Structure 1
């Protein structure tokens, strides 16, 4: 085993390649080995995805990232096993060789913790621990190897008769069977078949169908309301919990109308005022029907104390296909083995399947949540900004925070406005008119945040525009403000705006800059506050932070940046760079005014050959110096410039011809960029709630969230897309055709809403429906 850059001896029985292939089915052993070498040498996902296709064979970046996660997990597992062997074996009561083999066969950190727990000395010892302590592990292994054992040799002051010896042998038998590699694979197969969705089954071959019919595993998730939830049903309804978890809790709603039976309530129906709580019932989700977002909702509702759930398992022929069913046992030991085999299946195997099924479904939904986040953020970061216009940014609230920005995003002025009453509109318009006079005749866009009181602010601005209060061409649009307030209190914000700056104004500046240059501004926001994805905040916090940051880093790199204008926050997210190297680039740029070509990066302190190799292809340089080449504006890596020139020569073109071609794409991600906010309908009317084109803010597996301008996004449920079947491919909404993406505008109307006393919405759920069959605009 090649040890690459990690220094501890590789002690696991499984190779590093094994873990990568297991995580990413598309990988061959050879390609997995190549990826492991690149990971070990310190290469990042974005660089590998774009420039090392020869190694990965064309995998998508998220698949490479998944392989990277498997690589890191395997390295951690190797360390954990090494430490566990050093801790457990010295004071072990039992067969050290058996324990060491089990540890080295571990496939995840959870296996190591379970083994350590088994051999931890406890005050109250269970039967298996006592059997191990009394030395029955070794004879159990011998019997499984086809040998006969004389149990009289194991009698002692603790094991006084043959009957006790047979009992302890049975416990050791059962544990040895359940801990075997063969049984682990059997469990994996059962869990995979029991949780495999119908749409995936449809693309399997006949052999797979036959195997499922033979095994017939049935995994269910049974859940019910907790005692606390049952005792506070009315309060939960008032708080909108039933609306929030509608897909899970609709069965717990009955009816005070005898004509409306429980069976008449369809899944997905919003709760009505007529329905009353039904406390003492349970609901079931089948493993092969449950979707990842439903599992995430179950976990979240459980953590909030609303429901409790458990995994149940049924399989009539569980013993029939058990790998130890046909094992050869010595005639003298057949009776003992038969009892141990039954005990193992009933008391160890079934609970193990339930645990593994829950773990599998949980891990799958967490992975999917992270993946959905990545796709939404990619679409968000790819949006084009508004160019060549001055921007007035408004952060709505009881007091509107306002900032005036030039077309490059520099702050010209900041103030506070009061736009709550009609009379305020005209009193406060003086400052806005003065800003308009300062725009040098250029058109102005008013960027209004989409948070609380956004609608009233839109209404005020629309009234001012309608009455011709501005001396230049002015329009407005709504901009997502997720994370703006979080950024305003960060160290980066204080460094950029100064310690004395008003944090209320910083959020307004952030909103305005998102309109001008979305990529540069969004990278400043902590990933978990971007408001994208589905339930990813329910994942492990440290794991979430690490994964979200790696996704942002990959997406920013693959989109690319201009080396001469990119901010420090943007540069530090480019593949190969970090905070210190980004600062060094800024310092060099300030001293030398600009970079004349990509190769000049090598003059920056801290940019060594490997750093340059990873980052250069993601940083474009404009210019016409002697050292500059048009290739510096493309995704072609400097190492491949000679190859590109030879290719152009074969096509009968020169590098000058290349520079003059308007059709040469400059996009660094190989995809058409979203039109985003630049194409959003700016206008003179506020966002209404019905029959208007609205901006997609988030795409999940259960539907599309639309910013309708009232501080809370509306949900366009998946059922509104009739061309998508939940039981057929594609499995996920974002993989289907004609599904809108983040930043796109579609025509929707509200059909279900909860009103407060002031006529607007509670912070719960707004259901939308499509106004027209055409989805794409």
Structure 2
């Protein structure tokens, strides 16, 4: 601040407007669809349609399959991202409403504050504006200046309403006004507050943050800590070496990866790292130029020029820079969390959509040392046929264990084994591999697959498991579950809470409520898109269908038990708790038809039955489907037959013409034709070709060498790379830099090259070569 005395004249100044308390609710100066469009980069018309569909209570599976024409053919994954963003907007508006009421109670809700609040677009901006009004907060410097009457001269100087002589505000007996320097400081603080809360200024600050880069710097926390910090429980038992990469790390916010943000945030919380956001000097220069232009600050009046320039600098250093840092970190955290949830969701989807192995007996093995390996053999329908406990790792019992295993496999002609990946997995795998190589099970061609045990023990102790197997040991139940995870993975995995399935990245650092909601939506999408038979589906499956709930699923089963099998989809409306809206959401994902060959001949003799109920065509489109069949000279009774499918396939080239003739949208016609061109009860999973990896042998980790080429299966995907089961003790990692830009998914078969081996750390580095077809 210049020591030059202010020489403003005594010209009479206009009175500062009194605070207005207006009871009307503040309406943002943007509409929901406009902000949603801006934040997600989708067309405003599509954003408006998505909001309308969500507000009407439509589910993501229903929207993604049956309302494609309204959403520009977006995928369920894209819809989930947009739904999350819309929920953030709703949260912002709700918080804006509550904060407005709080400020109104203080009597400070004037037009200026209202305009500023109406312009906010993020929670951080809202908190920034609200900070001075918080009842429990320490009075801001601007409030102190206002309390001693310096708001009036500050307004007049900033907006150049009239000249001010600041010497007349000096009062030697009052704190904050004792000297001219004190007065000038108070005026600067209030000017800084006006600038920082100005709508246009905040908009410019938002643009600066969105269009320019900042630097994130991390350092290892100082070893010279206070005694208090040394006793901090958070820092105990933390393996600091995990964060070695970040001990002297620098990167721009535009280049940082989601997993890096999550790692840095976790290390900071554990007090391993200190984090700093460096903002380039040119950001201040741009901010300064904008404010100078907006408030018409020029050297013509030196006193005004000096004090307003001081106000701009104070505003930037004390208020705007911290806001930029907070918003940058908040944006990065949100980006990282969304990316982690997206990765978790994609992994979960791949896990749920693994192809079922139907029509075969499967042996499940829950491996263990002390309590032995639990065996459970299930039939083609998933029922338990044999169980045993063996101890293959003791010399005295190894031969006996092999005999027991051989007897069970031979008796039921079982050639498939599902081996849990828990304790003693690799030792059991090695034992099995030796038996297979020695032709112990000949003439059977036995193969095994490694199955994730995540959540199996939780399920085996659940009330549902105890109800189905009241007298079985929990480890035997786990073995049954492992076998069923291969036989019908979707039906078995929905019994476990998705966050327990072990396919995520930093899931413990994510907001639990958001994570659970996102994962349950993925489960609902998978179950809905695969579809279930209304007459045979369990409550676990039914409750995951779009529009249904645990209670509604139970009511469907109770209706089924009381009145017998459903004969058509519309019969669902007779179930208590299922009205037109619920029926609309769930009907297309529930199939109704004969459950065996014996029923096939006379099932369609009943009234209201139709083969359309076994397709993905929604009942709301049945009339259109029937008109289409007339157009292409086909009969409804022939749906699913080979000649019917061939003729429908030929009609696909007329999609556009048919949509015009039938006066409907092209997406609906496309869905109907696609559904009619599939066999009845077509399984979506057969198209995805995510097949379990069955092996007949095991490679020793000691045999691995740099340059060895192996085949394997992707078991987990993260932002830093993919983990691959290559048939040795530990999964190898293909770092993202070694993936050749290929986006791999769980279940992908790959060929890889070994590029590093760290036996002490149990780490194997891999380089991706190609996706294997076998």
Is this contact kept in 1: 2:124–2:327, CA < 8 A? no
Look up the match of 2:535.
Answer: 564
2:43 corresponds to 1:35: no
Partners of 2:710 and 2:452 lie apart in 1 by: 18
Residues 459-468 or 665-674, more deviating: 665-674
> Which of 437, 447, 451 is the equivalent residue of 1:479?
451
The normalised TM-score by structure 1 is: 0.79
Q: Unaligned regions of 5+ residues in structure 2, if any?
A: 1-23, 595-602, 647-676
> Which of 688, 697, 713 is the equivalent residue of 1:674?
688
Q: CA RMSD in A?
A: 3.4
Look up the match of 2:659.
Answer: none
Partners of 2:538 and 2:624 lie apart in 1 by: 31
Alignment map for 1:101-250 (pairs within 5 Å)? 101-121=115-135, 125-134=139-148, 136=150, 140=154, 147-148=161-162, 150=164, 157-160=174-177, 163-194=181-212, 218-227=213-222, 242=241, 244-245=242-243, 248-249=245-246
The normalised TM-score by structure 2 is: 0.80
> Which of 753, 757, 762 is the equivalent residue of 2:757?
753
Look up the match of 1:407.
Answer: 380
> Which of 241, 251, 270 is the equivalent residue of 1:285?
251
Deviation at 1:159, TM superposition (A): 4.8
Residues 413-422 or 568-577, more deviating: 413-422
Alignment map for 1:442-457 (pairs within 5 Å)? 443-457=414-428
Look up the match of 1:428.
Answer: 401
Residues 97-106 or 594-603, more deviating: 97-106
2:617 corresponds to 1:636: yes
Deviation at 1:615, TM superposition (A): 0.7
> Which of 80, 90, 93 is the equivalent residue of 1:65?
80
What secondary structure sits across from 1:358 in the alignment? helix
Partners of 2:435 and 2:395 lie apart in 1 by: 10
What secondary structure sits across from 2:294 in the alignment? coil
Partners of 1:547 and 1:141 lie apart in 2 by: 49
Residues 172-181 or 363-372, more deviating: 172-181
Partners of 1:182 and 1:63 lie apart in 2 by: 32
Deviation at 1:9, TM superposition (A): 6.8
Look up the match of 1:386.
Answer: 357
Return closer, same or farther for 1:503/1:137 CA change in 2, 3 Å cut-off: farther
Look up the match of 1:744.
Answer: 748
Is this contact kept in 1: 2:712–2:750, CA < 8 A? yes
What secondary structure sits across from 1:566 in the alignment? coil
What secondary structure sits across from 2:763 in the alignment? coil
Return closer, same or farther for 1:355/1:335 CA change in 2, 3 Å cut-off: same
Deviation at 1:395, TM superposition (A): 1.5
Return closer, same or farther for 1:496/1:145 CA change in 2, 3 Å cut-off: farther
Return closer, same or farther for 1:540/1:387 CA change in 2, 3 Å cut-off: same
Return closer, same or farther for 1:91/1:346 CA change in 2, 3 Å cut-off: closer
Look up the match of 2:574.
Answer: 603
Deviation at 1:448, TM superposition (A): 0.4
Is this contact kept in 2: 1:452–1:711, CA < 8 A? no
Deviation at 1:340, TM superposition (A): 0.8
Look up the match of 2:664.
Answer: none
Deviation at 1:126, TM superposition (A): 4.3
Alignment map for 1:339-350 (pairs within 5 Å)? 339-350=310-321
Return closer, same or farther for 1:302/1:397 CA change in 2, 3 Å cut-off: farther
> Which of 452, 474, 486 is the equivalent residue of 1:503?
474
What secondary structure sits across from 2:292 in the alignment? coil
Return closer, same or farther for 1:371/1:503 CA change in 2, 3 Å cut-off: same
Is this contact kept in 2: 1:453–1:710, CA < 8 A? no
Deviation at 1:576, TM superposition (A): 0.3
Is this contact kept in 1: 2:124–2:323, CA < 8 A? no
Look up the match of 2:8.
Answer: none
Partners of 2:700 and 2:527 lie apart in 1 by: 34
Alignment map for 1:316-335 (pairs within 5 Å)? 316=282, 318-320=284-286, 322-329=289-296, 333-335=304-306
Look up the match of 2:763.
Answer: 765
Alignment map for 1:538-557 (pairs within 5 Å)? 538-557=509-528
Partners of 2:578 and 2:434 lie apart in 1 by: 54
Residues 321-330 or 308-317, more deviating: 321-330
What secondary structure sits across from 1:696 in the alignment? strand
Partners of 1:172 and 1:489 lie apart in 2 by: 64
Partners of 1:109 and 1:123 lie apart in 2 by: 18
- What does the per-residue CA deviation read over 1:688-737, in whole Å, with 9 as the maximum and x for residues that have no partner? 55544221112233222112355643211223333x3xxxxxxxxxxx4x
> Which of 19, 22, 26 is the equivalent residue of 2:42?
26
- What does the per-residue CA deviation read over 1:544-579, in whole Å, with 9 as the maximum and x for residues that have no partner? 222222232233323332323322122111110000
What secondary structure sits across from 2:120 in the alignment? coil
What is the number of equivalent residue pairs in this alignment?
Answer: 682
Deviation at 1:612, TM superposition (A): 0.7
What secondary structure sits across from 1:325 in the alignment? helix
Is this contact kept in 2: 1:455–1:687, CA < 8 A? no
Is this contact kept in 1: 2:115–2:199, CA < 8 A? no
Return closer, same or farther for 1:556/1:301 CA change in 2, 3 Å cut-off: farther
Look up the match of 1:259.
Answer: none
